[in-house]
Structure 1
């Protein structure tokens, strides 16, 4: 930077010449000379450097000496009434304060104009748009081992893969047959799976009211409940997905509306919704403290699209009406700050899943896997496991010869889902200020009825899972239930594990009946996702540095109804966030 003192120094000199005061400009003590104080202030604020200030003062003092010299003859000719001049005295005409202030302001403005032009008045500053952009993300490296009991049922069907890969041939030539052997692992342990998760988000504050956000994330596929990817694959590159894209409008200080694909807007646990689950649609949330009371009310309403149902075209079958699938949700709750050591939070939510249950087709003839029936659209686009399923197609055979019978089938959800969700959480202090959190979650499917499940399936014989059998092995009903609950206790000095040395430990228990909720959206670790599971989990975490923490978790679960399926999972992970 080149600082040019000529014009500024001249102005300073004029002011010093017109000001009362002498050698005080050299003193480090506060000066009566406003110009000297101004230069010192500019040095203190970092606007100019000390050597530049010294140069200004030196040149200004020289100009002042010349001014005093030129004033001396005029003083000598002042007449008999003039006072006798003493050595060092300076006599100048009176200058009004307004003029002196104008000169000071001009000097200051000149200095600041040059500073801004050369960009040294405001160091380390950036364009306005930079200050409105926030970048955030996290990285996780996990070692995971999955242990399956030797007594588990062999050959459990993977119904999600069944639906994904087109209709499955289950009857061929009057024989039960499962094409492509679409089964899931139930007995072979999978040890030391190295898995990663990476998420990178950008948030832009467009104005005081509007915010836009975009986030990318890893993931082995496009399933909604996990962004983890398994390492290996001959060192092959990993997938990257659009995880979030949304706009948020802040209508008031206590209400916002969000549209697009965004994080879970509801207060919930992973009993119902996975922590990686995002919601596609529109929501509005409010949070309002009660005046004069230690209570804050909150709530959310939203409508989210799950799937746009459609049937593939077919020259052989009637293509029936299809319907869109939705999740409609509403929640109210309150945070109560009881005192400095205790707080209580509770919420009540209702979730209505529209058109996600399967619909039994009208009678249709299927000659190959390319044919369609009129309710194929009602099959779920994603499942984990646990829900009661039934065969969607009511297939009629065109031949009287059983050897010619083929049955290409899809499966659909047998129950409807209208959920009541109750959450409670109590935070308190124990053991010299250590935090203790007790949390509970209860979910009930209000739409569950055994009789309606049997009627929707077209009879118990058409159920594909959760069948109840008589002593002669004939299907007589459904073995399921509508309830789920979870309890968890957490102890530690920093539940968020944000600062170095923070730690926490937790233990919990889950119980999820088969049709308490759709099995597609909850935690993918416990029982490897889904419903019809019960068991415990325990773990601990420690912050090894700021925003870097390690966590260990063990889960042990088994089935509630049906064939044996016990799964234990051990996870050791290192997390970093920014």
Structure 2
């Protein structure tokens, strides 16, 4: 009869298991063991000689186990349910521990999930995050728009601009807005990459890079094309954050704004330069969370022109934004949440100042209030000519009026925000939001005085049939309402969707025109109109959006603009 090593090994292991197992707890059953061995003989697994030897071994071990149990009975009477555990020496236990440890560490190293001292400590404290957006944008201009709208932002950037040139063959160089030519299918991209470092339980540092066509504070989008040329990259954020308590955080540097707001006033791409303090505290006895924010931000470090008399640099004329906000969020129940805030913003030293009498011989000459022109503008604010120029020649052919423009109004803003989140129609999320802004410093009479008279007003003025100025057509109010409906308002998970619609109304001097959304009406103030859109999450971190806005002027010459944006966003 041929032997089968594998079957033999299995049989021997099974037989030994049946005999050795009971030895630890109680005397084995001889009949069960003998019957098993006989069955293996009948199946041809074991030869008879080997079977007889196994039976003899089993009977010997059983007898030995019974003798050990009788000896132990004198020391301790066994009770029902007791389990006898064989003693394991300390050396054996130590050997088992070392073997298990070595096996676990070998597996950890092979799978790269626990390798001590492989990476430096700072690696575990670094977080990398970013996003990429690809957008197709169409800018559609109404053919009835005025073609004589001045681009005052470009005026100051390219200035000073000659407004009176009697003997120059090239004539006036005043820049005008594109108000009638469509810009369809602009492909634009935005990419942002940020690194955050946790320095301790209280301290954090952050840096973020972003694209952008220029250093505009309200847009990080770059337009494709340009002969396949490389795109720009800017330092978008750089800050230190300190959390002195669980309910307060202080941030210094260039960082995102902590204020609760909408893009009616502040663009979603806007970052602030300075120091912020944010406070948040949940009341223990009711479902209400209080919050507040403080901020002091540098807008521009300016100087008066070089002083010829003292042979020194002119005095500092710095421009600041100071803000304070209080608010509360009330979780009414599982379906309803109400949030509101009240903020005040003071823009210090940003209004234009009419210069003292100055004489210009060339475009490089300066006047003493040139510093008061704004560092960045979009469009819409009332502006005036800054320089009080006195001609050096009595002949008009030699006259030059090289001019800058400045803001006619001061800005102290009251900002009110309200938002109600609820659920409707079998669990759909509905958000109703409203935002109202009032420029408490708006005063048309003071604006005229600041400009040195109506004849120096360069925009938003009213005129009689003869072309003589009669006043200012402006206002200091802005408001927005918006409704959003969707399965998830944050588009967090695959398959989430939302749709929204709203209306904006922004009078010319309700706020500085340089810091709000750059898409609606192509940025700035003196705009009113509708916007609608929808969003969908293709994956957890991949979303698509479609937006359309249609806007026109509030006062003045006609300017109607439609914007259509289709974009794909990915974040990581």
TM-score over 0.5 (shorter chain): yes
1:542 aligns with 2:536: yes
Please show how residues 472-511 of structure 1 align to structure 2 within 5 Å. Answer: 472-511=466-505
The answer for the alignment partner of 1:241 in structure 2 is 234
Given that 2:140 and 2:563 are in contact with CA atoms closer than 8 Å, whether structure 1 keeps it comes out as yes
Q: Choose the corresponding residue for 2:410, options 413, 416, 431.
A: 416
Cα 1:98–1:86 change in 2 (3 A) is: closer
| Structure 1: gaps spanning 5 or more residues | 1-21, 33-83
Cα 1:85–1:98 change in 2 (3 A) is: closer
Higher deviation after alignment, 310-319 or 277-286: 310-319
The answer for the alignment partner of 2:318 in structure 1 is 324
Q: Distance in 1 between matches of 2:315 and 2:505?
A: 37
Q: Distance in 1 between matches of 2:169 and 2:402?
A: 12
Cα 1:208–1:109 change in 2 (3 A) is: farther
Cα 1:511–1:85 change in 2 (3 A) is: closer
Q: Could you report, residue by residue, the CA deviation over 1:314-368 in whole angstroms, capped at 9, with x for unpaired residues?
A: 8799975341111100111000000110000000000001111111111111111
Q: Distance in 1 between matches of 2:19 and 2:329?
A: 63
Q: Could you report, residue by residue, the CA deviation over 1:444-489 in whole angstroms, capped at 9, with x for unpaired residues?
A: 0001111110111011110111112234321122111000000000
The answer for the alignment partner of 1:69 in structure 2 is none
Q: Could you report, residue by residue, the CA deviation over 1:201-237 in whole angstroms, capped at 9, with x for unpaired residues?
A: 1111111111111111110000000000111011111
Q: Distance in 1 between matches of 2:114 and 2:352?
A: 59
The answer for the alignment partner of 2:390 in structure 1 is 396
Given that 1:444 and 1:483 are in contact with CA atoms closer than 8 Å, whether structure 2 keeps it comes out as yes
Higher deviation after alignment, 167-176 or 336-345: 167-176
Cα 1:400–1:86 change in 2 (3 A) is: closer
1:289 aligns with 2:293: no
Q: Could you report, residue by residue, the CA deviation over 1:142-164 in whole angstroms, capped at 9, with x for unpaired residues?
A: 11111111111113221111111
TM-score by length of 2: 0.82
Q: Distance in 1 between matches of 2:87 and 2:372?
A: 85
Higher deviation after alignment, 116-125 or 236-245: 116-125
Higher deviation after alignment, 174-183 or 376-385: 174-183
Which secondary structure state, in structure 1, belongs to the residue aligned with residue 129 of structure 2? strand
Q: CA deviation at 1:125?
A: 3.7
The answer for the alignment partner of 2:150 in structure 1 is 157
Given that 1:322 and 1:375 are in contact with CA atoms closer than 8 Å, whether structure 2 keeps it comes out as no
1:214 aligns with 2:231: no
Which secondary structure state, in structure 1, belongs to the residue aligned with residue 226 of structure 2? coil
Q: Distance in 2 between matches of 1:171 and 1:189?
A: 31
Larger Rg: 2
Q: Distance in 2 between matches of 1:369 and 1:98?
A: 101
Please show how residues 463-474 of structure 1 align to structure 2 within 5 Å. Answer: 463-474=457-468
Q: Could you report, residue by residue, the CA deviation over 1:429-453 in whole angstroms, capped at 9, with x for unpaired residues?
A: 0000101100000000001111110
TM-score by length of 1: 0.81
Given that 1:388 and 1:514 are in contact with CA atoms closer than 8 Å, whether structure 2 keeps it comes out as yes
Q: Distance in 1 between matches of 2:19 and 2:377?
A: 83
The answer for the alignment partner of 1:461 in structure 2 is 455
Q: Distance in 2 between matches of 1:425 and 1:122?
A: 49
| Structure 2: gaps spanning 5 or more residues | 1-15, 26-62, 76-85
The answer for the alignment partner of 1:41 in structure 2 is none
Q: CA deviation at 1:530?
A: 0.0
Given that 2:149 and 2:177 are in contact with CA atoms closer than 8 Å, whether structure 1 keeps it comes out as yes
The answer for the alignment partner of 1:39 in structure 2 is none
Cα 1:445–1:86 change in 2 (3 A) is: closer
Aligned length: 503
Q: CA deviation at 1:398?
A: 1.4
